[in-house]
Amino acid sequence: MSVILLILKIIGIVLLVLLGLLVLFLCAVIFYPAGYRISGSFEEELELHARLHWLFHLFCFSFRIVGEEKRAVLYILGIPKQIYPAVEKKEKRHRRKKRRSQSDAPGEKTYDWEMEEEDGEEAVLQTMQMTSIETENVMSSEKDILREEITLPDKISSWKRFQQKIKQIFRKIGSFFQTLPAKVRLVYSNFSKWKGIFTDEANRASVRLFYSEIKYLAFHYKPRRVKADIRYGLGDPALTGKSLAVLSMIPFLYKKKVQIVPDFETEKFFVEGNLDAGGYIRIFHLIRSGLHIWKDDNCKKFIRKLRQ
């Protein structure tokens, strides 16, 4: 009986330790700040570098755009893992053909083994080629046994799905910057419609709540250090003036190291200059604002109107 109680005691202690570690990890995710830094230059070619680090730089995410080239790397405990772009299949095939050409020789028994890449992008393959007819059946049976022992298709398929989602996110980011001028013009053309929605008497309570939460998030997520020298134009003097009025409402842009110069004479959309900004974010603030909006019935009705 004492042995059973001792085993139960050990199991309980282990479960409590695991529960404590889980609670500690959740608290770290919610309350420990993650630092971010965004730097870039907007000249003839776009060059943008964003970096997000968390927990004493043990986890880092880096995203870089240079012209048409995009690259994303995840660092876990200092070990890099390239997320985007993935290794091209053509390059893998070229390496395989080169390996085969180096290993094959006429008149000899050759074996060509191809194992799964460590990144798990392709399914596990093991092929075997023999020029000897006598041992063909034996080697094919060994190949079947090895394939039965390897049970990774589910993990690989899930990893592939994850990579596809990451690729879609980066494609959306790239398309966002490419279609930004058209979106700005679309918002300007529908300005009267949006103005009517936001100034409606029935939506004022929701608008005030949204404004207060956006102001709260902007206060906590705003860059702690900013250095910028930007010159821009939207192709329309009226639209450029309105955008400058919106930018003038952002307090941290009044710092000494921030210079924003609008161009009212240009007839095309352009953004030129340099930017270097960094700060900290906490998930706690986002959860708090989300709960405030989710609990408000007026905000739910307002969101339904915006979706229509």
Placement of tokens 């596990």 in the chain: 124
Nearest Cα to Cα of residue 239 among 194, 281, 188: 188
Mean pLDDT of 196-205: 75
Mean pLDDT of 82-100: 66
What is the token pair recorded at 201? 């008497």
Nearest Cα to Cα of residue 209 among 104, 118, 293, 124: 293
For residue 294, pLDDT beyond 70: yes
For residue 123, pLDDT beyond 50: no
Residue 3's contacts (CB-CB under 8 Å, 6 or more residues apart) are none
For residue 220, pLDDT beyond 70: yes
pLDDT score for 27: 93
CB-side neighbour CA atoms (13 Å) of 28? 11
Q: How confident is the model at residue 307 (pLDDT cuts 50, 70, 90)?
A: confident
What is the token pair recorded at 165? 């989602």
Mean pLDDT of 94-105: 64
Note whether 35 and 52 are within 8 A (CB).
Answer: yes
- Please confirm whether the linkage preceding 85 is cis (ω < 30° from 0): yes
Nearest Cα to Cα of residue 67 among 229, 232, 177, 164: 177
For residue 138, pLDDT beyond 90: no
Placement of tokens 């997320």 in the chain: 83
pLDDT score for 132: 47
Q: At what angle do helices 191-198 and 180-189 cross, to 10 degrees?
A: 60
- Which of the listed ranges 41-50, 208-217, 296-305 does the model predict with the highest average pLDDT? 208-217
Which 3 state secondary structure label does DSSP give 147? helix
Q: Would the pTM count as exceeding 0.85?
A: no
Which 3 state secondary structure label does DSSP give 308? coil
Alpha-carbon span 239 to 184, nearest angstrom = 9
30-88 tens-digit pLDDT? 999 999 999 988 877 788 899 999 988 889 999 888 877 888 899 998 899 888 876 55
Distances (CA, A) of 226 to 61, 194, 256: 21, 31, 9
Length of the chain: 308
